[in-house]
Structure 1
């Protein structure tokens, strides 16, 4: 982690998958003062928008959050990562996720097995390939899941001076989180993460992995989306709250995320949300998310207080945040929030410790 990263909270934003919109949005994000932009793999390829984002920006970090690792193989991902790192002049972060068995096997027609060991080996294979290209070492990677032992000059990319991409991995469970601490450059936490869950579950698991590998907290960046309820007046805040309640309800209905609710003693809420989701009663689900649950999962604050609230929410656990600011906020309001984060989260006296 760079000293600048350690010194202050970075603020990122997502960019659209619609390629025609990416140049304008990426330029605006950079102009507003965001530190990075990320793409997800949902109904479009996550890498193509980043090429346009790199073309139309000069300092903005770009990254995938996430690309599905097990839908691909390390060699194809190594090529994509190398090219985006070269074209962006060192601004690319490769964010990978495992997805779930049903999608890997039935949507992508790829093998599924032991996601944590497979992800660990995927990263090791990537780095072996990049070392071959960057340092000229012989490619001879052989693991339980992947084998890469052939590389000729014709298939070796041109040298580049920017170093290899940093590798982030999406993690919710403790085993994947520990693995991130051992081998990854960054951890991509889920939006359905409370400060308590980050402090009591995610961070201890991450620190355990770091310690096992002889690494320190400064060796890894933790990135996390955060729900935000704010607005220029009470009406706008109420509208934002209604939308965020529905998002929280959607995630809360998913069995994979029940553990977060259980930690807070809200397991019964998951049971009811899951029941309503099976009935398709999405509006009713949002009504079950009361003010206490809302303020636990989201930053709820008027515009002048959003930056401080984000910093408090992330302190000690999150290094870069992707706040879901309401789309209705004008550009000057967004810029003001980002300026407040920069000025408030950088410690006085050049202290570069986290937290």
Structure 2
């Protein structure tokens, strides 16, 4: 099982420094999200500041760029990295696409399938000078009179998924599957792996909080847990873990106007224990080992929701220290 890391930084310089420290500690890949920063710009910065680890987007939003733009960015990043780049895509939710980015929301699985087909076709044929045509019901490519005059560096393409439809799609067409930030070993074994074909890289995203005091570690992870528990569409996930009542309490806190700190206060210890890696260094290492034999890659990330930068830095440093000690 590969140990990988999702670095954090209050500045891009700090982000790159954290990525470099994780690489030096032994992380085999570095993953950049898209929310407060552009995933592709962050990936470019980390590629420039590292030299060995893979660098991937986990995830870049699939529908807020055209498929051709996504393919161009991926080709550039693959070239810049000397083949270390991984394009990880996800759909986001309807509100994020329509209200935040002003793009249409259509059946996401069907649209993502067509988006992937266009990205791959463009990446494979952009240097030929021949017409490129991919006809889909939701996404199409019709390019003539174009030739990208640079050598193409190949890149793997991963898809994120939580529910069965997106996970199954990743299992069918992607090189890898990236889990939701909350993904227990039981969910991985029972709900995800049966939908992935052999050879797909199963990347488990694991929120990680380490402290000599397990209660303090749980406190840091509670805000992140509450953030995701406030999303009602994740009800099936929480019910699977016998946490339906606990999720409802978080949703009620969210409706009352609670911010990240308030949501954290509504999250009980058993919810944090079930869904994150929170505890002492030894406890977290043991929890990581629980994914062995099932996940092929684990992506460790520090908690950020409701925490001041100093606390995030502490959480990050402890994860990187743990990576040094993991087999």
TM-score of the two chains, using structure 2 as the length reference: 0.88
1: CA distance between counterparts of 2:257 and 2:79? 46
2:162 is aligned, of 172, 188, 206, to: 172
The answer for the alignment partner of 2:237 in structure 1 is: 260
- Indicate yes or no: 2:295 matched with 1:322: no
2: CA distance between counterparts of 1:107 and 1:309? 36
2:277 is aligned, of 271, 293, 299, to: 299
- Indicate yes or no: 2:263 matched with 1:277: no
1:193 is aligned, of 170, 183, 189, to: 183
Alignment of 1:1-355 (within 5 A): 8-16=1-9, 18-133=11-126, 138-153=131-146, 155-160=147-152, 162=153, 164-206=154-196, 210=197, 216=198, 218=199, 220-231=200-211, 233-234=212-213, 237-282=214-259, 283-324=261-302, 327-328=313-314, 334=319, 336-341=321-326, 343=327
Deviation at 1:307, TM superposition (A): 2.4
2: CA distance between counterparts of 1:246 and 1:119? 30
Q: Deviations for 1:55-80, whole angstroms, at most 9, x for unmatched residues?
A: 12110211111111111111111100
Paired residues of 1:17 and 1:44 also in contact (CA < 8 A) = no
Paired residues of 1:253 and 1:273 also in contact (CA < 8 A) = yes
- The change in CA–CA distance for 1:285 and 1:336 in structure 2 (over 3 A counts) is closer
- The change in CA–CA distance for 1:151 and 1:83 in structure 2 (over 3 A counts) is farther
- The change in CA–CA distance for 1:21 and 1:319 in structure 2 (over 3 A counts) is closer
- For structure 1, which runs of at least 5 residues remain unmatched after alignment? 1-7, 211-215, 344-355
Deviation at 1:248, TM superposition (A): 1.3
1: CA distance between counterparts of 2:47 and 2:97? 29
Paired residues of 1:15 and 1:38 also in contact (CA < 8 A) = no
> Could you tell which deviates more after superposition, 65-74 or 293-302?
293-302
> Could you tell which deviates more after superposition, 317-326 or 28-37?
317-326
- The change in CA–CA distance for 1:240 and 1:265 in structure 2 (over 3 A counts) is closer
- The change in CA–CA distance for 1:79 and 1:258 in structure 2 (over 3 A counts) is same
Structure 1 residue matching 2:182: 3-state secondary structure: coil
- Greater Rg by CA: 1
RMSD: 2.4
Paired residues of 1:34 and 1:338 also in contact (CA < 8 A) = yes
Structure 2 residue matching 1:10: 3-state secondary structure: strand
Paired residues of 2:235 and 2:244 also in contact (CA < 8 A) = yes
Q: Deviations for 1:12-57, whole angstroms, at most 9, x for unmatched residues?
A: 2234473343442332222222222222111332211221211121
2: CA distance between counterparts of 1:194 and 1:29? 23
- The change in CA–CA distance for 1:165 and 1:280 in structure 2 (over 3 A counts) is same
Number of equivalent positions: 318
Structure 2 residue matching 1:321: 3-state secondary structure: strand
